[in-house]
Chain A
C-alpha cells in the first residue's frame, strides 16, 4: 500500500491538527457532491477512498481510532421510466435519450422532464438541463429528487463550485481594501471611547 502520509501530502512528523487539515482540504477537493451525475464520479470516489483510507490508517496508527468517510446515494422511488433510469445508470445516455424522445408530448410527466434534464446534464447541455429540472419541479413540487437536481444546477450557476460570484464583492479576489482598514479603525476607536478609553486621540 502507498504511504498514507504521501497521499495526504503531509510529513510523518506533522501534528494531528495538520493531518486533519490536509485531510479536510482533500476531502473538499474530491467531495462527491460536485461529481454527482458526472462521468468522473468513479474516479473521484476512488480518490476519495484513497484519502479516507490514508487518513484512517494514520489516525489508527496514532490513536487506534477510526473515522467514517463520505457516502453518496440518490433517492430512488417507484418509476414509470425504469428502463430509462437503468440506461442512465449504465451510462448509455444516447439510448436513454432515444427512449425519452419516443414518449409522445401529451404523456410527458414530471419524471420525464427530470430524466430528460439528467440526460441533457450528462451531455453537458447545462442550460437546457436546468430548464427541464425547473419544469419537473413545477409539475411535481414536493418531489425531493427533482428538487435536489434543480438545487444542484442552481448552486453550480451561483459559483459555489468554481466561477465568479458578484455578490461576494471584492473579498473574492482582493481581501480587505484600504477603506475596510479605515472603517475598522474608526469602529475600534468608537468601541474604546464607549468604554472610556481612546484608540485614535484626534477623533
Chain B
C-alpha cells in the first residue's frame, strides 16, 4: 500500500498517540522477527492500520514495554506487547507483517512491468531480494497471497481494457482489501461489516494514489484512470493549466468523499475495542486530512515524509 491511511495527529488523545506508536514499533519488530531485519524497511502506516483493525476485533491482553529501538539504538521506544504471548494478538502482528511483505513484493513486481528497463533495475534488484521472504509470507497466510495474485491479474486486465473507468480500475485493490479485512471477522455479521470497510478503503487508497500521481503521469505519459474520466488526453506530455488542475482536484476529492461515505458507516459498526478511538480518528479525520494535504495544499510526497511522526 502507499502510506495514505494514517491518523490525524492533531486530533488524537495523547494516550491514543502512545498506543499507536506502540503498535507501530511492535509491528516493526514482528517484521524483523518473522521475515528478517531487511523487511523492517517495508513498515508502513497502512499495515499498522491493518494490525490495529485486527487487534480491535477481540480484546487481547496487552501491556506496554520499553526497549531500545533496533534501527536507532540511542532511542528508547514503548512497545505494545501481547501478555503471556497471547496467541491472538501475536497472530495479528504476524498477519500485518505478512501483508506488508506481500504488498511490497507485488508493488516491486508491478513497477518492473510498468517501467522501462533502466528504471526498473532497482525494482528488479529489490524484487529478487524480497523473493524468498515473499514465499515465506505466502506460505504463512495463503489466503493473502492468493488475493494479491488475483489483484495483480485483475489490475492488469482493467488498465489495459479499451474503456478503463475509475470504478473498474479501483475494483482489484478494493477486492483485495475486502478479502484481507473480511478474514479478520469471525461471525457473518462481523465479516459483512469488514467486507464493506475493506472494499471502500481499498477503493479510497487506489483513487488517492491515482489522484496523487495525476500530474506526474500526465508529464510522463503513464497510465492514470483520471485522464479518461476528466478528458485530459490533450494535456498528456505537459502540465495542466491552473483552472483545469483545480477542477481536477475538486473532482478527485468528490470521488474520494464518495468512498469515505461508505467507509465511515461501516466503521461505526465495528466492535468497541481498545483501539476504536484510533480507528475512528484515522477514518474520519486522517483520511480527509490526506485529501486536503494532497489535493488542496499540494504537499509533495517527499515533503509529507518530513511532516510524519
Contacts and interface: CB of A to CB of B under 8 A. Distances in A.
Contacts of B195: 39
B193 interface: yes
Contact of B255 (A39, A127, A161, A166): A127
Given A43-B193, A173-B10, A159 B288 contact: yes
Contacts of B266: 40
Contact of A40 (B192, B285, B292, B296): B192
A153 B269 contact: no
B155 interface: no
A40 B257 contact: no
A42 B222 CA distance: 43
Interface residues of B, number: 45
A47 B189 CA distance: 12
Contacts of A39: 192, 195-196
Nearest to A158: B257
Interface string A14-55: 000000000000000110001100111001100100000000
Interface in B140-190: 165-168, 171, 174, 189
A142 interface: no
Contact of B203 (A35, A43, A124): A124
Interface in B265-281: 265-266, 268-269
A162 B269 contact: no
Contact of B253 (A43, A130, A166): A166
Contacts of B203: 124
Interface of A: 29-30, 34-35, 38-40, 43-44, 47, 120, 124-128, 130, 153, 155-166, 172-173
Interface of B: 8, 10-11, 165-168, 171, 174, 189, 192-193, 195-196, 199-200, 203, 229, 250, 253-266, 268-269, 283-285, 287-289, 291-292, 295-296
